[in-house]
Amino acid sequence: MLRCVLGIVAILGVCGCSKEAPHDPNATGSAKESIPSDPDQALYNQVRSGAYQIGTAVDSIEDVRKTAREIASREKGDTHKALLEVAEHIDDAGQSLADFSEDPPAFDEFKKNFAAQDEKRLKAIDGANEALGDLHDAQDVVGDLLDSHPPEPENTQLTNADSALDDCIQSVESAIKTMGGKVTTAKDSKET
């Protein structure tokens, strides 16, 4: 029985240590202990993780943009225009994120100009929220196209693009939260 309990405790300990705790100054217990006590290091970790997630989203955005343009090249009329609109929204999202996907400088350099790095983090959060609005707009158009029940292979390609947009949105939202920001899009403000 004791071995079983110790095994469960060990598994929970390993699982708990593998997740990065959010930066919450009001956190209690073990989550608070995993946050670096050095605010420079905490900010560095946030910026670095956020940049990685934004970089992942930018790569996915490029793939979706190519797919939308490829399908548009074979379509005519309203469908062609809608797909070009999707590509335009995706381009806008990529431009909003482009400056924030690079890793921060080495920690020693980062610490030397902490205020500028924090300002860049805040700009990255704003840019990511702008990108979310464009991604949601693109997804709305893709959803409308899917609702029209296009023939194959366009249906499958649009379904894949819709799924990829979901992944992009989740990556960008995760980056915002990782960097200590709040997800706010134009869509959110219209609903409130």
85: its two tokens: 């609109």
Note if the bond before 36 is cis, omega within 30 degrees.
no
- What pLDDT is recorded for position 187? 52
CA distance 75 to 84: 10
Q: Which residues contact 93 (CB under 8 A, 6 or more apart)?
A: 61, 130, 131, 132, 134, 135, 138, 168
- The confidence score (pLDDT) of residue 40 equals 83
The length of the chain is 192
Q: What is the pTM of this model?
A: 0.74
Ranges in the chain, pLDDT < 70 = 1-36, 185-192
Looking at residue 15, what is its pLDDT? 37
- Domains of the chain from N-terminus onward: 38-187 (1.20.120)
The 10s digit of each residue's pLDDT in 100-144 is: 988 889 999 988 988 898 999 999 999 999 999 999 999 999 999
Longest distance between any two alpha carbons in the chain, whole Å = 70
What is the DSSP secondary-structure string of the chain? -HHHHHHHHHHHHHHHHHSPPP--TT--THHHHTS-SSHHHHHHHHHHHHHHHHHHHHHHHHHHHHHHHHHHHH--HHHHHHHHHHHHHHHHHHHHHGGG-SPPPPHHHHHHTHHHHHHHHHHHHHHHHHHHHHHHHHHHHHHHHHHT-PPTTHHHHHHHHHHHHHHHHHHHHHHHHHTT-----HHHHHH-
Query: Which residues are CB-neighbours of 190 under 8 A, at least 6 positions away?
Result: none
